[in-house]
Amino acid sequence: MKIYIDGNYYERNDARISVFDHGLLYGDGVFEGIRIYDGKVFRLKEHIDRLYRSAKAILLDIPAARSELEAEVLDAVRINQKANGYIRLLVTRGEGLLGIDPVSCAKPTVIIIVSDIQLYPEECYGNGIEILTAASRRVSADCLDPRIKSLNYLNNIMAKIEARRAGCLEAVMLNSSGYVTECTGDNIFIVRQCELFTPAPHHGALDGITMDVVIRIAESMDMRTHLTALTRYDLYNADECFLTGTGAEIIPVVKIDGRIIGGGTPGAVTVRLMKGFRDAIRQE
């Protein structure tokens, strides 16, 4: 494995950043997770665009043009000879003093890791998974816009720990008003009367790349989609439920907080969308 750090490549055991990097000290930075399918980077432009939007929102100047960073990502994939895998692209505030003030950070740190990822066992895609509602609430959108994909994931990590301790692989998070936002690393959809519903970003959901792909696929199948407000009641009474994310792709949910969703197996709409997503990957 060759890891890119600020223009140079290092073996995994030799890859280092400063302990004074504000990404380590404070979670001060942004990132993207990107998939590789058959040697092609999936939706690279969309991921790069979102990275720059996140960086702009936190006043972080990425030290490269978008086209240059895209080229670096493609080079990292080529150098690592990875046909199918996962890219983690990070930009931190860089090395500075111990104080929280980032004025001492002279230059951002850019890191590209090309590796493998498997979030869920393969059988979960055929059988579906059980999730629960986390007690940990999502950080309010009026405190930190959820469209910023920052390095600070402690809120999500606490919810993931809750899920694991309860024997589940994932947890759904609510905002301070009790509305559904997303899961710890994935967007969440429900199906009701063959229409799709997913929480709108202003309720606390990340504006997901895979989410957007799924919405486009659904619309091409003449399914109506709604970015709206959802409650746990809506989840419990859904005909179907599934999660979307770069790592997860599309994974069915068959039980939430002990309530069986639909018939307790992946629904017909979910299965169609899973096939449509695989087709979209092949087409790109």
Distance CA 182, CA 173 (A): 6
Distance CA 16, CA 123 (A): 36
CA angle 61, 9, 85 (to 5 degrees): 85
Backbone φ, ψ for residue 230 (5° rounding): -130, 145
Distance CA 98, CA 84 (A): 39
Among residues 45, 149, 160, 255, the one annotated as catalytic is 149
Catalytic site includes residue 107 = no
β-strand partners of 131: 170, 256
CA 116 → CA 80, 88, 119, 153, 181, distances in Å? 11, 10, 10, 20, 27
Point out the residues that are catalytic. Answer: 149
